[in-house]
Amino acid sequence: MSALEIQNIRKTYGAVETLKGIDISLESGEFLVLLGSSGCGKSTLLNIIAGLAEASGGDIRIGGRSILGVHPKDRDIAMVFQSYALYPNLSVHRNIGFGLEMRKVPAAERERAVQETAKLLQIENLLDRKPGQLSGGQRQRVAIGRALVRKPQVFLFDEPLSNLDAKLRMETRTELKRLHQMLGTTIVYVTHDQIEAMTLATRIAVMRNGRIEQLGTPEEVYDHPATLYVAGFVGSPPMNVLDGVVTGEGVQLDGGAVIALPVRLKNVVAAGRRVKLGVRPEALRLVGETADHRVLDVEIEVVELTGPELVVTGRVSGQRVTACLPPRTKLTVGMKQAFTFDEDALHLFDAETELALG
Ligand SMILES: Nc1ncnc2c1ncn2[C@@H]1O[C@H](COP(=O)(O)OP(=O)(O)OP(=O)(O)O)[C@@H](O)[C@H]1O
Ligand SMILES: [Mg+2]
């Protein structure tokens, strides 16, 4: 039985349909990330699961039972928000234990749960402090602790790291992953940060305009994006997209070279079809001694060393291309450089439907 079943969930505000039928079935222990740009409906979906918003249609089941009519506090769900509203006058200890206090859990049991949670989050030494005496990252841990302590069936997180600075965000992300691996809880986590999605998720649901564009493991979404939108959203820098047309030889880029198609794609696209050819920046490498038949002749315009890699931007027959190369690669602005890539790295999308081909 699924731990969490989201069935054809719809939400309309007046005439606007914000969620257009969302279906997701989660196994116990999954870490689902809802990934999408601002306004696509991520928080709306999360709030419906939590009971903070009402669905206009569809059903949500936990352990096989519909929860739509169930009061939020009886749903066995805990939610952590972006702005973690802690009680400023209560100690960290009481902030964490507050939900248990409200549920009239006996003091001894409560104490044990708070201590155990604090230990898990490594904030035992902060229990006597007030939220105002904590850093942003510590406050976020307390907010997570407040959710953890209740041991709910499902955790919901709405952009819990977005208020933290870059370094702290990374640390807390690792911490969350460790917690999930240790506790094996079922999590639904909202973010618009694709790195967070890639690193945390067991599965990612890429959302766009109230729909799920693709639902799959991080590897599936990254290696086999189902649409041009997903290809552009997951991965940084984003996948290169080159316009062209299918010919007998392969894909003729607009105003440029012909790129041979791998066997897996040869028979799925008819000649004359307008396509977009995708190749990730990290899949590009300098042409070697052996003859390569997938070559992009790039005029280099910008070279940026980020530290771990050299990001090179240029043009191939007028179309922009980015490559991520080893940091010591010797390239300078103005030079022409031939790049190549493996056939597995080649993605093809229909120019009209923007769906992946093959
Ligand atoms: N109470 C409301 N009344 C009318 N429209 C709403 C309401 N709440 C949300 N919306 C609209 O629904 C859409 C989805 O909002 P939602 O908050 O779910 O987006 P989101 O994906 O969480 O975005 P963000 O990343 O910015 O938080 C938006 O266009 C928003 O304006
Ligand atoms: Mg939101």
- Tell me what pLDDT residue 289 has: 64
Distance 51 CA to ligand 2 centre (A): 15
Q: How many CA atoms lie within 13 A of 203 on its CB side?
A: 17
- Tell me what pLDDT residue 256 has: 81
| 186 in any annotated domain | yes
| 167 in any annotated domain | yes
- Tell me what pLDDT residue 172 has: 85
CATH number of the domain to which 298 belongs: 2.40.50.140
Domain co-membership, 252 together with 306: yes
Distance 98 CA to ligand 1 centre (A): 30
- Tell me what pLDDT residue 292 has: 66
CA-proximal residue: ligand 1, atom 20 (nearest): 39
Q: How many CA atoms lie within 13 A of 260 on its CB side?
A: 11
Domain co-membership, 31 together with 152: yes
Residues 6 or more apart in contact with residue 259 via CB below 8 angstroms: 244, 250, 251, 253, 277, 294, 295, 296, 346
| 356 in any annotated domain | no
Domain of residue 118: give its range.
4-233
pLDDT single digits (tens) 98-117: 989 988 999 999 999 999 99
pLDDT single digits (tens) 229-261: 999 999 999 999 999 999 988 999 998 889 999
Question: Which of 9, 10, 11, 13 should be mutated for ligand 1, with most atoms under 8 A from CB?
Answer: 13
Residues with pLDDT less than 50, the chain: none
CATH number of the domain to which 82 belongs: 3.40.50.300
| 117 in any annotated domain | yes
| 274 in any annotated domain | yes
Number of domains making up the chain? 2
- Tell me what pLDDT residue 113 has: 93
pLDDT single digits (tens) 330-342: 999 999 999 999 9
Domain co-membership, 256 together with 164: no
Which residues have C-beta atoms less than 6 Å from ligand 1?
13, 18, 36, 38-44, 192
| 264 in any annotated domain | yes
Domain co-membership, 294 together with 184: no
| 358 in any annotated domain | no
Quickly tell me which residue has 């519909």 as its tokens.
66
Query: In whole angstroms, what is the distance from residue 319 CA to residue 109 CA?
Result: 64
- Tell me what pLDDT residue 290 has: 65
- Tell me what pLDDT residue 82 has: 75
